[in-house]
Amino acid sequence: MDLGEIAPPAGRYAPSPSGDLHVGNLRTAVLAWLFARTTERTFLIRMEDLDRTAVGSDQQQLADLAALGLDWDPPVIYQTTRLASYQSVIDGLRDQGRTFECFCTRREILDAPSAPHAPQGAYPGTCRDLTDAERAERRATGRAPAVRIRTDVDHFTVHDLLHGDHTAAVDDFVIQRNDGTPAYNLAVVVDDAAQGIDQVVRGGDLLSSAPRQAYLATLLGHRPPTYAHVPMVLNEKRIRLSKRDGAVTLGDLAEHGVTADQVLTHIARSLHLAADGESVNLPTLADRFDPAALPKEPWILTDAEWR
């Protein structure tokens, strides 16, 4: 896909290639595929590889998605190939007076007094209005600055297909880290707009970041996507599932005799799309899919699930 062309409406799945996908990741991928394919959208895969990655994990992730029966529209985009695009947007915002350099550490932000009603950890505006002399003084210490967006709102509201209207505080958030890496909140907005992604289906833990991203999309002249933040998969302690929980990846489960088809069937049951004892495939799930009927509560995954 030439990202310079106008792209057709699309949904996407955007994993970080830092290791094997676990069942929670796979369940979200299945839902993203179902939302896109049942609304006649293209379905794209984007590797969000700006942070730590594991060699070969991208190909293993693609193989695991294919093993479940998922298909996608090529090519797979890697964020590390799009650094120039992110920098162009950052430079444009800077030229508009929409950014400022921030020399604060995370600890300094947490320890600083917050504005009334601001959530804990919200940026208090410490570096927002530094003079040239003050910036020069901070630079002289050797501390490299991050770049923050200069927002003109306190809150922003998004509409989520599963959660309804969701309003959250929007502070002067980071769009470029102090090592020069584009921040997630910027890269995801730039990529979604460039790829024509107007439907974002992802884990419920990311709902809190949607208002920031939707605000930035609007600031850049883009229409924010339709959101659907789906329930998480938790372990028996009701903590977000991770590889530390044991046999939760396709590779691990295969060693215990659990096939990819069986994993898909278990995912389908957790979504109320398959009956006990029934084996299903993705076309069957697409025929049955109704977003309004999806469970709203997390799926608690136990060892007994695979017995």
User: Binding site annotation covers 15?
Assistant: yes
306: Cβ contacts below 8 Å, ≥ 6 apart: 247, 253, 256, 258, 262, 266
Please check if 127 is assigned to a binding site.
Answer: yes
**243 known ligand binder:** yes
Residue 199 phi, psi (nearest 5): -140, 115
Does the annotation flag 298 for ligand binding? no
14 is in an annotated binding site: yes
Q: Per the annotation, does 102 bind a ligand?
A: yes
Strand ranges, E, within the chain: 10-13, 42-47, 77-78, 99-102, 146-149, 155-160, 164-169, 174-176, 197-203, 226-230, 233-234, 299-300
Any idea which residue has 């009701």 for tokens?
238
238 known ligand binder: no
* 209 labelled ligand-binding: no
Written as one letter, the residue type at 198 is D
13 is in an annotated binding site: yes
Burial of 300 (0-12, 13-18, 19+ CB in 10 A): middle
CA distance linking residue 146 with residue 174, whole number of Å? 7
Annotated ligand binding at 270? The verdict is no
Residues whose CB is less than 8 angstroms from the CB of residue 181 and which lie 6 or more positions away in sequence, other chains included: 50, 51
Polymer length in residues for the chain:
307
16 is in an annotated binding site: yes
Residue stretches of the annotated binding site for ATP = 243
Residue stretches of the annotated binding site for Zn(2+) = 102, 104, 123, 127
Residue stretches of the annotated binding site for L-glutamate = 12-16, 48, 184, 202
Residue stretches of the annotated binding site = 12-16, 48, 102, 104, 123, 127, 184, 202, 243
